[in-house]
A and B are shown apart, each in its own frame.
Chain A
C-alpha cells in the first residue's frame, strides 16, 4: 500500500513538473487571449472552459502549477537553508545563547504565515513571487530550525562526535561529516512535508492578493476570481481546487514514502 501511494505520488509530482515546464514554452491558449467568451463551459477548444474575461481556464491552471511549484520549492529552499543553519547553530550553542535562540524560534513560529507575509509585502512595498517565497520560507525556517536543533543536539551527544572532537575535528568538520549526514533523513522528510504546506500557503496568500500579481495565474487567485460565480460556473473553482489538492496529496505521498524508505536504510539496533 505504502509503495503504491509513493509511486502514485511520484507520478503525479512528475506530471506537475512536466506541466509547469511546458508552460514556459507552450500553453493551449495565450493567457491574455480573451476570445473564448465569458464563463464558457468545456469545449474542444477550451477543455476546462473559460473565466469571466473569456480566458482559457486550462492554460491558467497549467501556469498556476508552475507558480505553485516555484513558490513551493523556492520557499522550501529558503526555509531549509535558513532553518538548517539556524538549527545547527542552536544545536551547538551553549546554554544561554541556546535558550535565547529557542525562544526566538518559538516567537517566530507563533506568527501566522499570513501575518508574516503581510509584513514582508509591507516591507517590500509590492506583492510578488519573491515576497511570497520569502514570507513562506521565513515561516518555514523557524519550524525547520526547531527540528534541526533537536536532532543535531541528539547527534552531538553521540560518542562518535566526542571521539571526533578528541581527534581534533573542528566544529565545521563535525557539522559536515557527522551532523548533516545523520540528520539528513529526518530533515529531508520534514522538508518534503513542508513543501506541501508551502504550496497551500502560496494558494492562501494569492487568494488574499498577497501573492504573485496578475497575469500570473496562481491557483489561489483563480479560486478567488471564481468565487463569485461558483454557482453558475463551478468548474472555475473545481479545476484549480482539484489541481491544488492533487499536488499537495502527491507531495505528501512522496514525503511518507521517503520516510519509510529512509527508515529502512537507517540502522536497526539489535
Chain B
C-alpha cells in the first residue's frame, strides 16, 4: 500500500490556467521517488499538495491510504506526522531569532508529541551529524550545509515516514552538496524520500523511481535507471541531452 499518492489530480490557481492536469503518483514505503521538472512544470504545486498546504480541484490526495481532507484537523495532524518537508534555501528555512533547540522542538509542541524534548533534540542532532552543543546556538552561527542539516533534523524529530525534500541541495556548494546527499542516502534506509528537483544528477543519486513533469503533466515515469538509459518521451530526451557532463 502506498504511503502517499496523488490520484488523477487537477489544480489551477486561476480558472482556465491549469497548473496540474491528471497527475497521478504513488509512493510506496522505501520506494524513493524523484520528481523532476523545469520552471513552470508544476513541481512546486505537487509539493504543496503532498504537504497538505493546498487541496486539488480535481482528483484526490491519499495520505497513508486514506483520502486527505485538509479541512479536517485530525486528518491533517496524522498527515503532518506522516510527511515532513525540507526546503531549498537553508537561509530562509530557519527562523533567525530562534535557538536551534527551539527550532527543533517546535514540531514536538505543535503536534503535541510525547517524549522528552531534550532526548529527541540529541537524537536528531546525532542523526544529522551535528555536535550536541549545537542546540544552544542560533542559525547565524552555522554554514549553509550545517543549516540544511538543522532543517533536516527538524523534519526528522516528528519521526515522519516520508521526507519531502524540495531542491534540498541546489543552494549548496558542490562539496557540501555531496555530503548532504550522503546524509539523505543514510536516512533513506528508514525514511522514504520524495525529492523534488530540477537536478537529474541529485535525483539519480538518491531515488530509484523517477517522474518527469512538463507543463503540469507527467510525461514519463518509471525506474530512474531505465529512464536515464533510454528516455522514451521527446521532452525527457531533450532534458537528458541538455545535461552538462564531465569530460570522460
User: Measuring CB to CB, which residues of chain A are less than 8 angstroms from any residue of chain B?
Assistant: 158-160, 162-170, 173, 177-178, 181-182, 266-269
Contacts and interface: CB of A to CB of B under 8 A. Distances in A.
B121 interface: no
A166 B111 contact: no
B122 interface: no
Please tell me the size bucket of the interface on B: 20 to 34
Contacts of A170: 110
Contacts of A162: 51, 53, 85, 87
A168 B77 CA distance: 6
Given A159-B92, A160-B95, A167 B53 contact: no
A170 B73 CA distance: 10
Contact of B139 (A165, A167, A266, A267): A267
B84 A167 contact: yes
B94 A160 contact: yes
A170 B117 CA distance: 20
B92 A167 contact: no
B223 to A, nearest CB: 29
Q: Which 8 pairs across A and B sit closest by C-beta, in order of nearness? A: A167-B107, A159-B87, A169-B110, A159-B93, A267-B96, A168-B110, A168-B80, A160-B95
30 contacts: A158-B93, A159-B88, A159-B92, A160-B92, A160-B93, A160-B95, A162-B51, A163-B85, A163-B93, A163-B155, A165-B53, A166-B51, A166-B80, A166-B83, A167-B80, A167-B106, A167-B110, A167-B111, A167-B154, A167-B158, A168-B80, A168-B110, A168-B111, A170-B110, A173-B110, A177-B95, A178-B95, A267-B96, A267-B140, A268-B140
B165 interface: no
A92 to B, nearest CB: 14
Given A168-B111, A178-B95, A182-B96, A159 B89 contact: yes
A63 B37 CA distance: 70
Contacts of B189: none
B76 interface: yes
Nearest to A180: B97
A170 B51 CA distance: 15
Nearest to B95: A160
Contacts of B111: 167-168
Nearest to B103: A160
Given A162-B87, A167-B111, A168-B111, 20 more contacts: A159-B88, A159-B93, A160-B93, A160-B95, A162-B53, A162-B85, A163-B155, A166-B52, A166-B84, A167-B84, A167-B110, A168-B110, A169-B106, A170-B110, A177-B95, A178-B95, A181-B97, A182-B95, A266-B96, A267-B96
A166 B106 contact: no
B101 to A, nearest CB: 13
Nearest to A164: B106
A179 to B, nearest CB: 10
Contacts of A268: 140
A182 B97 contact: yes
A167 to B, nearest CB: 4
Interface string B20-53: 0000000000000000000000000000000111
Contacts of B92: 158-160
Interface in B79-123: 80, 83-85, 87-89, 91-98, 103, 106-107, 110-111
A168 to B, nearest CB: 4
B193 interface: no
Contacts of A267: 96, 139-140
